[in-house]
Amino acid sequence: MMRGDRWVRRGDVLWRQTAGTVLVLAPGADQPVALTGPGVAIWHLLTVPMTTHAIVSCMADLYRDPARRMAEDVNRLLAAMATQHLLEQSS
């Protein structure tokens, strides 16, 4: 995943939230998916398009963790959320 890739939530994903969890239902998905922890933070960040680099930086600030260490987790999460059709790349 490139540092300059820009991500945003897919507009057609339905979602709700409860105590520290975001429930998302992607188009075509059989069941909603529950996002927790960093997944929730990324979901709330991506109301507007952000680069991978900016997301890593925000998450590093939020979790008080060095960006270098955070990058791997964030990339993994972004890839998983994109596979589940929750996010899309923005130009």
Partner 1 sequence: MTTRPVHDELVVAVAAYGLRGSRTSLPDTPLDAPTWERLIDRVRSERLAGHLVDAVMDGALPVTREQRQEAVELHTTQLWWSLLLDRRLLATASALQEASIDYRVLKGTAVAHTVYPEPSLRLFGDVDLLVRAPQFDQAAAVLVSLGARRSAPALRAGFDRRFGKGAGFVFEDQLEVDLHRTLVLGYFGLLVDVDALFDHPATFRIGGRDLPALRLEERFLNACYHAVLGHHGRLVSCRDVAQFVLETPLDMERALAVARRWSGEAVVARAVHAAWETFDLADVVPLSVWASRYQPTRHEERAMHGYIGSRRSEAVRALVAVRAVGGLRGKATFLRSLVLADRAYLDWTGQGRLAWLRRGRRALHRARP
Sheet holding 87-89: strands in order across? 50-51, 6-9, 87-89
- Binders of partner 1 among 19-38, rule CB under 8 A? 19, 21, 23, 25, 27, 31-32, 34
Which one of 14-22, 35-43, 51-59, 64-72 is the stretch in contact with partner 1 (CB under 8 A)?
14-22
Could you tell me the two tokens for 29? Answer: 């998905």
Which residue in the set 13, 55, 59, 71 belongs to the binding site for partner 1 (CB under 8 A)?
13
Residue whose pair of structure tokens reads 């997944």 in the numeric block: 39
Rank residues 74 and 86 by Cβ distance to partner 1 and give the closer one. 86
Report the alpha-carbon distance of residue 86 to residue 14 in Å, rounded: 9
Report the alpha-carbon distance of residue 34 to residue 59 in Å, rounded: 19
69 binds partner 1 (CB under 8 A): no
Site residues, partner 1 (CB under 8 A): 10-19, 21, 23, 25, 27, 31-32, 34
